[in-house]
């Protein structure tokens, strides 16, 4: 089981990084989503794996519980990652609609055209 | 009054002028004046105790772990400086009210002034050097605002920047020096440090500490070679110059040298560094001042010279010199503030402060003439004024000073400086007020209104009175201040009186006065010589240095930060992988202690789906729609895996976030190209693939290693498990952690989420207000549109599901404290219920029927969560402490009521509002005119069927 989770994290990370290294906005967004999965599962797994032991207290009998702390951290991370994805999507979309270009890299020409800083 | 309050009053008061300026300039000035007056009164209440030699202290442990304590103390030295800061501050506030013109934003002025005043008072009352450093940097920052107050003047901006660079830079050096000092002694409390003279002076770190601290003092007090910032700071309005350069800012360096005198002074290093710097500064400032035509520049360089004088006295390291230094600080503050104000009046009433264009004002401005003359003669050191007394003491002390075996070097140079000092003082009087009356003044000169001359007149009266009755008026103060400076030891013999008999100092004074008159007579010749001499221009050198640094940093920035994001990502990933490899190859790893769980068939199937989908995304990522579908598969498997691995809360959250993320990405894909073109060469793709595979192997191996071993340290989770029900009243430990144990984290997170949603809203607003809107209205959809934008089946089903979905949300919310669920998940579920209406019936239709705004929802969520947290304060508990109890209402079962549930309501509202605002903003991109005419499934017999071409793509 551990090997399955670990290899899944590895595959998700690799795919995410590969997509982040692309040069258009949309694959980068997909790559970030994949890395989000990988990171969330990674954090979750630092609490070690357990089956049928949710951290919901049982009043009637002694049962094992899994580690609740990483779960709480990952829960907020999942929600925050939605906020992050939404912001990036909106930036990518606005940039594309404004310039009709979805490259993520600035070119030398962009740097020349950029307004000069306060000298 | 508590010392805390005295130090805090100016900061508290700083709010009022900025607010009250709407009620008029008098209101703003009165508020500033009243605050200062209160603080001054608070200080004076302590005066009997301080004059008895007591030290008043107020202590509060702020960050004891760092040694940073908010400790304040008031001894003679602090009292004198606080008196100068607040007393002259009060006069300046009065003066500035009449000096500033109608166009100047006066509220801002007083706010800056009070901030500065507070920082200064903080410096002189601090009993902790870390606290002192904080205030020290605050003075640099607030003086920057004051000097650059006239933002429209380039000189003002440059002067402010120069002052900040020099004094702020010196402050940084001083931080290092103070930290070394604290390290030597083992405490950052001044009162402890001052007891450890031997320890400090015998330490090998004494020299670096001394040099670094002196760098801070010299830059602040404009000592050579850092004196150049002070004249450039004269671009500030005159009240600022009068305040900063007579009583406060530049005296901070002197204050610190005096404060540290008991432990730092007395060594050869101290004598040669401090006394020599002071001597050079005194002479140089006096010479330059004589040849300045701008009145304020003349006063600026004379200030530099007098600061040098005091520095030199402190550098002598003798007790008598320390007394003289303290006495001169009092005298200089009085006559110099009066002189600055006089210069301001002259500038204000004649329209110029160029000495060459002035003269003959004595009959036109008699009051100003009187004030200016008395103050200037005190500066020249003429009896019976106060400047004479302290200058005599200085000259007396130089006679006893040997510099490198030379007995006459120091007294000789001191007399020379005194000659020039007398000369520029006489010049101030004669070239401005004496001489023939002119008829080409830029404005018709006359005496100012009483508001302007009252403050300098008061100071000049002090100048005369201190001169005549020094022992009675300031004698006790000088005694207590001096004994504070010399560390409480016995005071040397001195007497504050005008006539000491025929002493060497008297002859030196006579020489200085006569020499001054002689120099003034030769001023025209002298000026020709001075102008012919080559002189380094400090501003040019300073700017050359600054520009060199700017070029260097720009070079580095442009190289590193060239806008190619994918390059940053490559560097980041490879560097991280490299670090990981380094840690792996140098560290040790323990043995595996856990037995792996057996892998059953269903998880293996799930794994195959996930890996297959992920590889599919990599392979097919050019087809964007397909890769979205595959990402949905990944998300689903991840949520199922969470559920399988005992994390039901995570599974619920993940699956609901998955739904909204998918909708978001689909919506955005609507406006983006559907295909990603090939634009990297195969070699680059192979390189990227190699990097990502290595990184993937690294992270997978790392988590595998972690999972196969037990915790290295005892986990805090056991505490949470044990106290979740007892302390938090809930059995779902994950939820209790979120809303109770780590509620503050959650509070921060909902704020972040809310901000993210607002950013999205703001971006949408700004993009849609450009020509993008026109493009969106005319764009052709990527794919053929469905003939029926709102399929009947979907509309019916979603409307039926709406109440059910809301009920599920409520259920999930209420059970959250004890069973999987809670505010986060409920918020997402309710958001999905709304989104279904958007999708089925159309954005416009849904918006028209909606009765609440998302911004407000976010705001209420954060406010409710905050209010719940604050509620704990009323029960004298820390922020966000939760309380709970059980309620028994027959025939219902006993149920629990916890304040955490109220907090969770805040979370719920914030999440709902944020998700909806984000998707709502994106939906507005799809808006087309004519949508509002469509009535999905509204049975209205009067309605005409919409014409074919008006059917537009719907959200």
pLDDT, one tens digit per residue, over B243-272 is 988 778 889 999 999 999 988 888 888 999
**Residue where the block lists tokens 């702390």:** A69
Is the minimum CB–CB distance between B751 and chain A shorter than 8 Å? no
Per-residue pLDDT averaged across A14-34, rounded? 92
- Indicate whether B66 pLDDT > 80: no
Cα distance from A37 to chain B (closest Cα, Å)?
Answer: 8
Q: What total number of domains does chain A contain?
A: 1
* CB contact (8 A) between residue B649 and residue A75: yes
**Is residue B631, in this structure, part of any structural domain at all?**
no
- Indicate whether A117 pLDDT > 70: no
For residues B162 and B270, membership in a common domain is answered with no
Per-residue pLDDT averaged across B430-438, rounded? 85
Least confident stretch, B29-43, B165-179, B851-865, B894-908: B894-908
Find the domain containing B304 and state its range. 266-521
A21: nearest CB among B603, B648, B688: B688
For residues B249 and B338, membership in a common domain is answered with no
Q: Which has the closest alpha carbon to B488: B311, B263, B325, B330?
A: B263
Q: What is the pLDDT of residue B869?
A: 83
B211 touches B264 (CB < 8 A): no
Per-residue pLDDT averaged across B457-465, rounded? 91
Cα distance from A92 to chain B (closest Cα, Å)?
Answer: 9
Cα distance from B827 to chain A (closest Cα, Å)?
Answer: 10
Per-residue pLDDT averaged across B46-65, rounded? 84
Residue B115 CA to residue B84 CA, distance in Å, equals: 16
B770: nearest CB among A11, A48, A98: A98
* CB contact (8 A) between residue A14 and residue B697: yes
Q: What is the pLDDT of residue B581?
A: 92
**Is residue B2, in this structure, part of any structural domain at all?**
yes
* CB contact (8 A) between residue B566 and residue A86: no
Is the minimum CB–CB distance between A83 and chain B shorter than 8 Å? yes
* pLDDT top residue among A108 and B507: B507
**Is residue B921, in this structure, part of any structural domain at all?**
yes
Cα distance from A95 to chain B (closest Cα, Å)?
Answer: 9
* CB contact (8 A) between residue A98 and residue B661: no
**Is residue A59, in this structure, part of any structural domain at all?**
no
Q: Which helix (H) or strand (E) holds B886?
A: strand B884-887
Q: What is the pLDDT of residue B774?
A: 83
Is the minimum CB–CB distance between B148 and chain A shorter than 8 Å? no
B646: nearest CB among A46, A51, A94: A51
Per-residue pLDDT averaged across B159-178, rounded? 91
Contacts of A96 in chain B (CB under 8 A): 671-672
Most confident of B48-62, B668-682, B796-810: B796-810
**Mean of the per-residue pLDDT values of chain B:** 87
Contacts of B922 in chain A (CB under 8 A): 86, 89-90, 93
Cα distance from A76 to chain B (closest Cα, Å)?
Answer: 7
List of E strands, B367-437? none
For residues B902 and B944, membership in a common domain is answered with yes
For residues B272 and B396, membership in a common domain is answered with yes
Q: Which has the closest alpha carbon to B720: A55, A100, A74, A111?
A: A55
Q: Which helix (H) or strand (E) holds B236?
A: none
Least confident stretch, A38-47, B272-281, B867-876: B867-876
Residue B729 CA to residue B904 CA, distance in Å, equals: 14
B566: nearest CB among A21, A47, A56: A21
Cα distance from A114 to chain B (closest Cα, Å)?
Answer: 11
Q: What is the pLDDT of residue B219?
A: 92
Residue B63 φ/ψ, nearest 5 degrees: -125, 80
Q: Among A13, A23, A44, A61, which would you mutate to test the B interface (most chain B Cβ atoms within 10 Å of its Cβ)? A: A13
* CB contact (8 A) between residue A8 and residue B635: no
Using the 3D structure, point to which of B521, B539, B568 is the last residue of a domain. B521
CA angle at B823 for the pair B916 and B881, rounded to the nearest 5°: 130
Interface of B with A in 787-846 (CB under 8 A): 818-820, 824, 828
Cα distance from B707 to chain A (closest Cα, Å)?
Answer: 5
Q: Parallel, antiparallel, or unpaired: how do β-strands B884-887 and B895-898 relate?
A: antiparallel
**Is residue A14, in this structure, part of any structural domain at all?**
yes
User: Hey, CA dihedral for B533, B539, B544, B549, is it positive or negative?
Assistant: positive
* CB contact (8 A) between residue B697 and residue A10: yes
Tens-place pLDDT, residues B910-931: 999 999 999 988 888 887 776 6
Contacts of B749 in chain A (CB under 8 A): 76, 79-80
Q: What is the pLDDT of residue B894?
A: 67
Tens-place pLDDT, residues B762-780: 999 998 888 888 888 887 7
Is the minimum CB–CB distance between B594 and chain A shorter than 8 Å? yes
Contacts of A34 in chain B (CB under 8 A): 614, 617, 631, 634
B880 touches B868 (CB < 8 A): yes
B653: nearest CB among A53, A69, A78: A78
Residue B890 φ/ψ, nearest 5 degrees: -60, 145
A83: nearest CB among B562, B599, B753: B753
Q: Which helix (H) or strand (E) holds B554?
A: helix B538-560
Q: What is the pLDDT of residue A119?
A: 37
Contacts of B918 in chain A (CB under 8 A): 83, 86, 90
**Is residue B508, in this structure, part of any structural domain at all?**
yes
Tens-place pLDDT, residues B536-561: 787 888 889 989 999 999 999 888 88
Under the banding of pLDDT at 50, 70 and 90, the label for residue A114 is low
Under the banding of pLDDT at 50, 70 and 90, the label for residue B56 is confident
Q: Among A3, A9, A15, which would you mutate to test the B interface (most chain B Cβ atoms within 10 Å of its Cβ)? A: A15
B707: nearest CB among A8, A48, A94: A48
Q: Is B897 helix (H, G, I), strand (E, B) or coil?
A: strand
**Is residue A35, in this structure, part of any structural domain at all?**
yes
Is the minimum CB–CB distance between A99 and chain B shorter than 8 Å? no
**DSSP class per residue in B438-475:** -S--SS---PPPHHHHHHHHHHHHHHHHHHHSHHHHTH
Find the domain containing A87 and state its range. 2-50+67-101
Is the minimum CB–CB distance between B756 and chain A shorter than 8 Å? yes
- Indicate whether B940 pLDDT > 80: no
Per-residue pLDDT averaged across B48-71, rounded? 82
Most confident of B109-113, B154-158, B482-486: B109-113
**Is residue A97, in this structure, part of any structural domain at all?**
yes
For residues B289 and B315, membership in a common domain is answered with yes
Q: What is the pLDDT of residue A112?
A: 61
Is the minimum CB–CB distance between B304 and chain A shorter than 8 Å? no
* pLDDT top residue among A40 and B246: A40
Cα distance from B33 to chain A (closest Cα, Å)?
Answer: 38
Exposure string (b/e) for A28-61, b if CB count within 10 Å is 16 or more? bbbbbbbbbbbbbbbebbbbbbbeeebbbbeeee
For residues B131 and B59, membership in a common domain is answered with yes
Is the minimum CB–CB distance between A35 and chain B shorter than 8 Å? no
Q: What is the pLDDT of residue B934?
A: 54
- Indicate whether B123 pLDDT > 50: yes
What does the block give as tokens for B321? Answer: 């010199």
For residues B844 and B932, membership in a common domain is answered with yes
Residue B757 CA to residue B854 CA, distance in Å, equals: 9
For residues B864 and B941, membership in a common domain is answered with yes
Cα distance from A32 to chain B (closest Cα, Å)?
Answer: 11
- Indicate whether A116 pLDDT > 50: no
Between the CA atoms of B171, B172, B175 and B180, what dihedral angle is there, to the nearest 10 degrees? -130
Using the 3D structure, point to which of B496, B521, B546 is the last residue of a domain. B521
A18: nearest CB among B618, B648, B919: B618
Q: What is the pLDDT of residue B955?
A: 44
ipTM of the prediction greater than 0.90, yes or no: yes
For residues B114 and B135, membership in a common domain is answered with yes
Contacts of A71 in chain B (CB under 8 A): 647, 649-650, 734
For residues B240 and B298, membership in a common domain is answered with no
**Residue where the block lists tokens 């603080």:** B39
Going by C-beta distance under 8 Å and a sequence separation of 6 or more, which residues neighbour residue A75? B649, B650, B653, B734, B738, B824
For residues B297 and B242, membership in a common domain is answered with no
Q: What is the pLDDT of residue A113?
A: 57
Q: What is the pLDDT of residue B113?
A: 93
Tens-place pLDDT, residues B851-867: 888 999 999 999 999 98
**Is residue B643, in this structure, part of any structural domain at all?**
no
B691: nearest CB among A17, A24, A94: A17
Q: Among B543, B703, B776, which would you mutate to test the A interface (most chain A Cβ atoms within 10 Å of its Cβ)? A: B703
Per-residue pLDDT averaged across B688-708, rounded? 93
- Indicate whether B826 pLDDT > 90: yes
Size of interface A-B (CB pairs under 8 A): 315
Q: Which has the closest alpha carbon to B129: B59, B189, B72, B185?
A: B189
* CB contact (8 A) between residue B638 and residue A40: yes
- Indicate whether B470 pLDDT > 70: yes
- DSSP 8-state assignment for residue B272: I
Under the banding of pLDDT at 50, 70 and 90, the label for residue B693 is very high
Q: What is the pLDDT of residue B720?
A: 87
For residues B240 and B303, membership in a common domain is answered with no
Residue % of chain B over a pLDDT of 70: 96
Q: What total number of domains does chain B contain?
A: 3
Is the minimum CB–CB distance between B658 and chain A shorter than 8 Å? no
Q: What is the pLDDT of residue B892?
A: 67
Is the minimum CB–CB distance between A95 and chain B shorter than 8 Å? no
* CB contact (8 A) between residue A102 and residue B673: yes
Which residue does chain B place closest to A94, by CA atoms? B767
Using the 3D structure, point to which of B224, B258, B292 is the last residue of a domain. B258
Q: Which has the closest alpha carbon to B157: B149, B165, B148, B145?
A: B148
Is the minimum CB–CB distance between B571 and chain A shorter than 8 Å? no
Q: What is the pLDDT of residue B950?
A: 47
Cβ neighbours, 10 Å, residue B563: 15
Contacts of B746 in chain A (CB under 8 A): 76
Is the minimum CB–CB distance between B546 and chain A shorter than 8 Å? no
Q: What is the pLDDT of residue B945?
A: 56
* pLDDT top residue among B879 and B587: B587
Per-residue pLDDT averaged across B32-60, rounded? 89
Q: What is the pLDDT of residue B570?
A: 92
CATH number at residue A21: 1.10.287
Cα distance from B654 to chain A (closest Cα, Å)?
Answer: 7
């Amino acid at each position: 089981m551990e090997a399955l989770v670990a290899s899944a994290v590895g595959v998700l990370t690799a795919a995410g990084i590969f997509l982040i290294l692309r040069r258009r906005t949309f694959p980068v967004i997909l790559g970030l989503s994949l890395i989000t999965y990988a990171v969330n599962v990674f954090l979750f797994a630092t609490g070690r794996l357990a089956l049928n032991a949710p951290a919901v207290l049982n009043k009637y009998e002694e049962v094992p519980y899994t580690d609740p702390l990483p779960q709480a951290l990952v829960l907020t991370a999942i929600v925050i990652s939605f906020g992050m994805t939404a912001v990036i999507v909106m930036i990518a979309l606005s940039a594309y609609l404004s310039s009709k270009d979805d490259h993520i890299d600035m070119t030398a020409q962009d740097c020349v055209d950029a307004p000069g800083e306060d000298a | 009054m508590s010392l805390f309050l005295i130090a805090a009053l100016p900061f508290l008061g700083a709010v009022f002028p900025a607010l009250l300026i709407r009620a008029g300039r008098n209101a703003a000035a009165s508020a500033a004046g009243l605050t200062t007056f209160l603080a001054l009164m608070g200080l004076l209440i302590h005066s009997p105790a301080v004059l008895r030699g007591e030290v008043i202290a107020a202590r509060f442990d702020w960050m004891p772990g760092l040694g940073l304590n908010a400790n304040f103390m008031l001894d003679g030295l602090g009292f004198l400086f606080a008196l100068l800061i607040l007393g002259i501050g009060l006069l300046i506030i009065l003066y500035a009210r009449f000096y500033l013109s109608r166009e100047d934003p006066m509220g801002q002025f007083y706010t800056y002034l009070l901030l500065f005043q507070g920082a200064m008072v903080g410096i002189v009352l601090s009993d902790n050097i870390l606290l002192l450093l904080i205030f020290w940097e605050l003075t640099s920052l607030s003086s920057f605002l004051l000097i650059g107050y006239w933002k429209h003047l380039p000189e003002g901006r440059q002067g402010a920047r120069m002052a900040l660079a020099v004094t702020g830079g010196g402050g940084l050096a001083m931080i290092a020096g103070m930290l070394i000092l604290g390290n030597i002694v083992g405490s950052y409390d001044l009162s402890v440090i001052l007891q450890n003279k031997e320890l400090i002076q015998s330490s090998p770190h004494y020299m670096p500490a001394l040099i670094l601290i002196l760098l801070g003092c010299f830059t602040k007090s404009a000592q050579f070679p850092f004196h150049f910032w002070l004249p450039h700071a004269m671009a500030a309005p005159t009240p600022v110059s009068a305040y900063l350069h007579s009583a406060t800012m530049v005296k901070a360096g002197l204050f610190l040298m005096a404060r540290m005198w008991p432990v730092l002074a007395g060594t050869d290093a101290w004598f040669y560094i401090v006394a020599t710097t002071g001597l050079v500064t005194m002479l140089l400032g006096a010479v330059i001042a004589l040849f300045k035509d701008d009145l304020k520049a003349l006063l600026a360089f004379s200030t530099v010279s007098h600061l040098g004088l005091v520095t030199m006295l402190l550098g002598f390291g003798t007790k008598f010199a320390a007394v003289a230094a303290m006495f001169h600080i009092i005298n200089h503050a009085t006559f110099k503030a009066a002189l600055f104000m006089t210069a301001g009046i002259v500038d204000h009433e004649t329209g110029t402060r160029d000495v060459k264009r002035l003269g003959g004002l004595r009959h036109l401005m008699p009051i100003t003439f009187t004030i200016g003359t008395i103050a200037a003669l005190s500066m020249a050191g003429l009896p019976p004024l106060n400047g004479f007394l302290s200058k005599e003491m200085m000259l007396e002390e130089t006679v006893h000073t040997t510099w490198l075996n030379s007995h006459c070097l120091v007294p000789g140079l001191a007399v020379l400086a005194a000659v020039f000092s007398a000369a520029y003082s006489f010049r101030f009087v004669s070239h401005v007020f004496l001489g023939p009356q002119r008829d080409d003044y830029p404005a018709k000169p006359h005496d100012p209104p009483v508001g302007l001359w009252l403050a300098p007149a008061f100071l000049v009266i002090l100048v005369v009175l201190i001169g005549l009755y020094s022992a009675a008026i300031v004698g006790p103060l000088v005694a207590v201040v001096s004994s504070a400076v010399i560390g409480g030891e016995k005071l040397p013999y001195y007497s504050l009186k005008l006539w000491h008999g025929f002493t060497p100092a008297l002859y030196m004074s006579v020489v200085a006065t006569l020499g001054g008159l002689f120099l003034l007579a030769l001023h025209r010749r002298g000026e020709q010589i001075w102008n012919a001499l080559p002189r380094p221009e400090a501003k040019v050198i300073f700017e050359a240095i600054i520009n060199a640094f700017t070029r260097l940093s720009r070079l580095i920035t442009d190289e590193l930060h060239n806008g190619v994001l994918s390059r940053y990502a490559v560097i980041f990933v490879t560097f991280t992988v490299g670090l990981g490899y380094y840690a792996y190859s140098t560290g040790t790893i323990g043995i595996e202690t856990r037995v792996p769980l057996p892998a059953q068939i269903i998880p293996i199937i799930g794994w195959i789906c996930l890996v297959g989908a992920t590889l599919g995304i990599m392979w097919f990522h050019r087809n964007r729609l397909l890769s979205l579908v595959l990402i949905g598969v990944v998300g689903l498997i991840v949520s199922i895996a969470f559920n399988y691995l005992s994390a039901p809360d995570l599974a619920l959250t993940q699956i609901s976030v998955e739904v909204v993320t998918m909708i978001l990405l689909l919506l955005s894909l609507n406006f983006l190209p559907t295909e990603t073109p090939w634009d990297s060469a195969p070699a680059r793709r192979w390189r990227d693939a190699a990097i990502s595979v290595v990184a993937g192997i690294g992270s997978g191996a790392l988590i595998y290693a972690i999972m196969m071993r037990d915790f290295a340290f005892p986990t805090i989770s056991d505490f949470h498990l044990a106290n979740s029900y007892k302390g938090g009243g809930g059995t779902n430990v994950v939820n209790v952690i979120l809303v109770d144990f780590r509620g503050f984290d959650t509070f921060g997170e909902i704020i972040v989420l809310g901000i993210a949603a607002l950013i999205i809203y703001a971006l949408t607003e700004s993009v849609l207000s450009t020509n993008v809107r026109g493009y969106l209205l005319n764009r052709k959809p990527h794919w053929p549109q469905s003939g029926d934008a709102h399929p009947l089946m979907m509309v019916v089903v979603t409307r039926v599901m709406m109440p059910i979905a809301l009920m599920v949300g409520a259920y999930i919310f209420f059970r959250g404290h004890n069973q999987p669920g809670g505010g986060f998940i409920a918020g997402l579920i309710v958001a999905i219920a709304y989104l279904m209406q958007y999708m089925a019936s159309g954005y416009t239709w849904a918006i028209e029927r909606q009765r609440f705004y998302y911004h407000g929802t976010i705001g209420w969520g954060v406010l409710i969560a905050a209010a719940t947290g604050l509620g704990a304060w009323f029960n004298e508990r820390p922020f966000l402490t939760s309380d709970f109890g059980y309620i028994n209402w027959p025939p219902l079962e006993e149920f629990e009521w916890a304040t955490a549930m109220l907090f969770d309501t805040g979370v719920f509202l914030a999440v709902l509002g944020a998700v909806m605002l984000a998707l709502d903003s994106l939906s507005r991109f799809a808006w087309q005119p004519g949508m509002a005419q469509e009535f999905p499934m509204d049975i209205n017999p009067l309605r005409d069927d919409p014409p074919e071409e008006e059917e537009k793509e719907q959200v």
